[in-house]
Amino acid sequence: MYLGYAAGVGKTYKMLEEALELKHQGMDVVVGYVEPHGRKDTIAKVVGLELVPRRKVQYKTATFEELDTDAILQRHPQVCIVDEFAHTNVPGSERTKRWQDVQILLDAGIDVLTTMNVQHLEGLNDQIWQITGVRVRETVPDWVVKDADEVIMTDLTPRALLNRLERGVVYAPDKARRAMENFFQESNLVALREMALLQTAHEVEVRQSTQDEVEDVLRNLKPGALALTPQAASQKERILIHVTPAPASAALIRRGRRVADYLHADCFAVYVESEEDSKRAPTPEFEALEKHLSFARNLHIETRVLQGKDAAKVLVDFARQQGVTQIFVMRTHENGWPHIFGRDLLRQIVHLARDMQVTIVAERGRSAKL
């Protein structure tokens, strides 16, 4: 995956460069989907590569073009180029997201080169919003990116990118002007770029430690080798996220997941339901909760619904029993949520969980111009 921080940094170009190099080495390479956006350097790179025609999809009154996964499966190349990993397919497509199509190709043994911008990572959604004011809707769960064999940073300085925009290389003049007034403000770009660099560093680090862990296991298989010390085994962190129907739960889940990823920790999410709750007919709150729990599962977080009167006690007892090292709870703005989601519950949790870490995540507000 070629990771970038904005349109126009050269992800597609770099990807095609590698594709040509692979072809040169004798690999069977096809283009499944490339969006050249009329950029002439990029177009020049596609020349000389075999294109698998795109699938035409009729939706309402317009025709859209999508990746033709079936055609690629049939053609079965060694390597397939699929641009814009985070893309959402037109309604009515077999799969909602392009990354799901990519998984089909990978499962069939086809290698894929793809591109994505860092702001499409689910785990960064709140931070991106905080900095740019843009709530990115097309997101990709972090684990999907973690599954990539390699993540390569496509770097370009913000000033060079802005120059490109001004020269009309990236977008048509009208769109370029609008872009520069909004998302493409230089301070945004600097922050996004730093995020992309750090994310790539993280992806590199994760792959190294996976390698180390595999080697540890192999070493343990050899006779006479040192076994993993109990201490090393017990150092593995376990993170428990306390989910409520409050809207802020989504941000809490993202944050918990992200911290778990960085600490290489296990991660699960729990809702504590009172007995009255379980008897009552479905309410909007219940639906909100269901949405949060399914969101958590999409991020590969195991979820559990527990029952009991005393939410704090049930939560902490469960955590203790599960060997949890860190509980994640949300501090919402005290804005009229029933008080059980508010401070009292939080204080009770902190009071009861004296043998583990409790992380209180304050809802991230967005400041005037950040």
Partner 1 sequence: MAKLTEQRPDPNQLLRQVQAEEQEQRGSKLKIFLGYSEGVGKSFRMLDEGRRRRERGEDVVVGAVQPKVPDEINSLLQSLEVISCKTIAGVPVMDLSSIVARHPQVCLVDGLAYDNPPGSAHATRWQDVQELLAAGISVIASVNLQFIEERRDQVEKITGKHVTATVPLSFLKAADEIELVDAPPELCMVRAAQGTKPGSVLATRQQHLSELREIALVLAADVVDHQLEAYMRSHGIEQLWGAQERILVYITPQASSSKMIESGRRNAERFHGELFVAYLDQPGITAKDQAALHSNLSLARAAGAQVVTLDGDDPVDAILEFAKARGVTQIFVGQTSDRGWRDRLFGTTVDDLVRVAQGMDVRIFPK
197, burial (CB in 10 Å: exposed 0-12, middle 13-18, buried 19+): middle
Q: Locate all alpha helices (DSSP H) within the chain, ordered by sequence.
A: 11-24, 40-46, 69-75, 98-107, 125-132, 142-146, 158-166, 173-181, 186-221, 230-234, 249-263, 275-279, 284-298, 311-321, 343-352
**How many CA atoms does the CB half-sphere of 306 hold within 13 Å?**
22
Whose Cβ is closer to partner 1: residue 52's or residue 240's?
A: 240
Shortest Å, Cβ 341 to partner 1: 15
In angstroms, the CA 96 to CA 87 distance is 9
Please say whether the beta carbons of 38 and 152 come within 8 A.
Answer: no
Q: Report the DSSP pairing between strands 152-153 and 238-242.
A: unpaired
Scanning the structure block, which residue is given the tokens 């020269």? 167
Shortest Å, Cβ 147 to partner 1: 16
Shortest Å, Cβ 215 to partner 1: 10
Q: Report the DSSP pairing between strands 152-153 and 2-4.
A: parallel
Give me 145's structure tokens.
């990116």
Q: What is the DSSP string of 237-298?
A: -EEEEE--SSTTHHHHHHHHHHHHHHHT-EEEEEEEE-HHHHHSPP-HHHHHHHHHHHHHHH
- Which CA distances in Å does 53 have to 22, 30, 32, 45? 21, 10, 7, 17
Shortest Å, Cβ 111 to partner 1: 12
Whose Cβ is closer to partner 1: residue 52's or residue 79's?
A: 79
Give me 134's structure tokens.
């843009």
Shortest Å, Cβ 60 to partner 1: 39
In angstroms, the CA 113 to CA 98 distance is 13
3-state secondary structure of 31: strand
Shortest Å, Cβ 104 to partner 1: 23
In angstroms, the CA 163 to CA 167 distance is 6
Whose Cβ is closer to partner 1: residue 192's or residue 296's?
A: 192
Whose Cβ is closer to partner 1: residue 9's or residue 301's?
A: 9
**Nearest-CA neighbor of 267 among 227, 213, 319?**
319
Shortest Å, Cβ 353 to partner 1: 8
Whose Cβ is closer to partner 1: residue 18's or residue 35's?
A: 18
Whose Cβ is closer to partner 1: residue 63's or residue 211's?
A: 211
Shortest Å, Cβ 196 to partner 1: 9
Whose Cβ is closer to partner 1: residue 93's or residue 154's?
A: 154
58 CB neighbour count, 10 Å cutoff: 10
Whose Cβ is closer to partner 1: residue 30's or residue 131's?
A: 131
Question: Between helices 186-221 and 249-263, what is the axis angle to 10°?
Answer: 50
- Residues engaged in binding partner 1 (CB under 8 A): 18, 21, 25, 127, 130-131, 150, 152-157, 159-160, 185-187, 190-195, 197-198, 200-202, 204-205, 207-208, 211, 255, 262-264, 326, 331, 343, 346-347, 350-351, 354-362, 364-365, 367-370
Under DSSP, the state recorded for 84 is -
Whose Cβ is closer to partner 1: residue 12's or residue 69's?
A: 12
Whose Cβ is closer to partner 1: residue 116's or residue 153's?
A: 153
Shortest Å, Cβ 211 to partner 1: 7
Give me 47's structure tokens.
């020349």
Shortest Å, Cβ 55 to partner 1: 29
